[in-house]
């Protein structure tokens, strides 16, 4: 590696972005600038996110239903770090660095079920599902390796702080983030106690797109709906009061890592967006305590989880940043019990899934909300390589969430 490259890879966030850019992002929205193109396109900024952003947050890494039974395990990535998620014999979800303590191979290469141990494929070192080292076969030339003199207790799989909140699994790599309950509290309060525990996973997909993971959060506005999702949001009036020009949603931002769009009272409701539905067996609503008012919202749990709460379903995305220009998304759809499974509610579920995933059910189909957004983000990824892309502006009416996310990103990375 050339000296110049090494120097570039060790620069700070301030050096990479420049004080002027940072100050511009931090200005009030009317005068603010946005993150420059390099924050989306450069390997250097992506490396900085590995050290200054992802470890400091609760990163969403999967859904609890990805490993439903004791002995189930999956490998996941947090940025460039390989992690194992495993359900132990007691049914608890644990996370470990997916790095063998012998000579650092991946321990788990693919999802597995029915495990009693995690066994490295290279020389078969094995750990129980709580990460304790159990076997180092033939290490000292004997079957049981009883002559080895090192302390096996010190060679457990390295644990990662992990928390499960309803359907979502989070990890916090530096161990210093506030407790998960505090992290999700603004969201919990927003939804007025809607009983997420009474919902179950119906549909789970992995879709990827060729663009930076931050575009998902930058897209946390409804300004684009009419143009990008024209076939789905058929009238502008779903997002905007046509008489006054005001949005039908409010942007809410909390300093502790929470951004949301909340439907305003009076917003017209399409029948297939979570209202009563127009199929024979409409979906049951997500239970709410008596006297509580339902809040329709779509939120970001900073940095990489989105949750859309409708009357009778939840649509969620966990974004896995794989490279500056590549993101895998874990898509999950949850319905109030017993509507997540079974024939009775299949037509109603289909109606919801058609809206989000398109009838094509394809990430390149461009006929559902998700893939239509991907197309725009991939276009932004190309445009962001231009120096002209450093100069962006935000609508104070529609895009305060986008601005908030970018400030939040900088505050976390500079903190």
The site for ligand FES (CB under 6 A) is made up of: 100, 102-103, 105, 120, 122-123, 125
Read off the tokens for 125: 């070192």
Q: Which two tokens stand for residue 375?
A: 């197309």
Residue found under tokens 């189909």: 365
Q: Considering only residues 128, 311, 373, 399, which one is a binding residue for Fe ion as defined by CB under 5 A? A: 373
Span from 146-154, 190-198, 354-362, 368-376 in contact with Fe ion (CB under 5 A): 368-376
CB of 282 closer than 8 Å to CB of 348: yes
**Least distance from C-beta 373 to Fe ion, angstroms?**
4
**CA-angle at 136, arms to 135 and 142, nearest 5°:** 110
Q: Rounded to the nearest 10 degrees, what angle do helices 43-52 and 400-414 cross at? A: 70
Question: From CA 147, how far away is CA 404, in angstroms rounded?
Answer: 59
Q: Of Fe ion, ligand FES, none, which one does residue 51 interact with (CB within 5 to 8 Å by kind)?
A: none
Strand, helix or coil at 352?
helix
Structure tokens at 140: 């000292």
The nearest distance, CB 261 to Fe ion, in angstroms, is 11
- Residue whose entry in the numeric block shows the structure tokens 């693919």: 110
- At its nearest, how many Å lie between ligand FES and the CB of residue 116? 17
Taking the complex as a whole, the smallest distance from the CB of residue 256 to ligand FES amounts, in Å, to 40
Q: Residue 7 or 122: which CB sits closer to ligand FES?
A: 122
373 interacts with, out of ligand FES, Fe ion, none, CB within 5 to 8 A per kind: Fe ion
Whether 352 contacts 314, CB under 8 Å:
no
CA distance 161 to 186: 21
105 binds, among Fe ion, ligand FES, none (CB under 5 to 8 A by kind): ligand FES
Which tokens hold the place of 203? 């549909």
Only segment of 157-165, 328-336, 345-353, 366-374 that touches Fe ion (CB under 5 A): 366-374
* 98 vs 406 by CB, closer to ligand FES: 98
Interaction of residue 128 with Fe ion, rule CB under 5 A: no
Min dist CB 371 to Fe ion, Å, is 10
Residues engaged in binding Fe ion (CB under 5 A)? 373
């Amino acid at each position: 590696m050339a000296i110049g490259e090494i120097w570039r890879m060790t620069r700070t966030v301030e050096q990479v972005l420049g004080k002027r850019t940072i100050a511009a992002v931090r200005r009030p929205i009317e005068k603010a600038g946005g993150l420059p193109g390099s924050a989306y396109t450069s390997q250097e900024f992506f490396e900085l996110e590995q050290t200054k952003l992802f470890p400091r947050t609760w990163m969403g890494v999967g859904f609890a239903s990805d490993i439903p039974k004791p002995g189930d395990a999956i490998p996941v990535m947090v940025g460039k770090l390989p992690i194992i998620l495993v359900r132990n014999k007691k049914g608890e979800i644990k996370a470990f660095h997916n790095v063998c303590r012998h000579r650092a191979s991946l321990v788990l290469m693919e999802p597995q079920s029915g495990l009693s141990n995690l066994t490295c494929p290279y020389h078969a070192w094995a750990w129980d599902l709580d990460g304790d080292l159990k076997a180092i076969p033939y290490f000292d030339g004997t079957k049981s390796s009883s002559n080895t003199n090192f302390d096996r207790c010190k060679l457990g799989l390295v644990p990662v702080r992990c928390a499960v909140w309803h359907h979502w699994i989070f990890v916090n790599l530096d161990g210093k983030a506030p407790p998960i309950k505090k992290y999700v509290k603004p969201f919990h309060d927003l939804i007025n106690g809607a009983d997420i525990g009474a919902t179950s996973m119906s549909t789970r997909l992995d879709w990827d797109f060729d663009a930076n993971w931050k575009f998902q959060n930058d897209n946390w506005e409804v300004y684009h709906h009419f143009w990008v999702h024209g076939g789905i949001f058929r009238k502008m009036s779903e997002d905007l009061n046509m008489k006054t020009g005001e949005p039908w949603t409010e942007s809410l931002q909390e300093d502790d890592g929470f951004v949301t769009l909340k439907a305003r009272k009076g917003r017209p409701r399409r029948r297939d967006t979570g209202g009563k539905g127009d199929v024979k067996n409409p979906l049951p609503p997500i239970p709410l305590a008596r006297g509580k008012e339902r809040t329709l919202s779509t939120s970001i749990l900073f940095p990489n989880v989105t949750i859309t709460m409708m009357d009778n379903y939840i649509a969620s995305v966990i974004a896995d940043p794989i490279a500056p220009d590549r993101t895998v998304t874990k898509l999950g759809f949850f319905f109030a019990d017993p509507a997540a499974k079974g024939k009775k509610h299949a037509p109603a579920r289909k109606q919801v899934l058609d809206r989000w995933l398109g009838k094509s059910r394809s990430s390149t189909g461009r006929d559902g909300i998700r893939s239509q957004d991907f197309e725009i983000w991939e276009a932004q990824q190309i445009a962001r390589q231009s120096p002209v892309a450093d100069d962006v502006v935000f609508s104070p009416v529609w895009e305060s969430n986008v601005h908030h996310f970018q400030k939040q990103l900088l505050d976390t990375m500079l903190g």
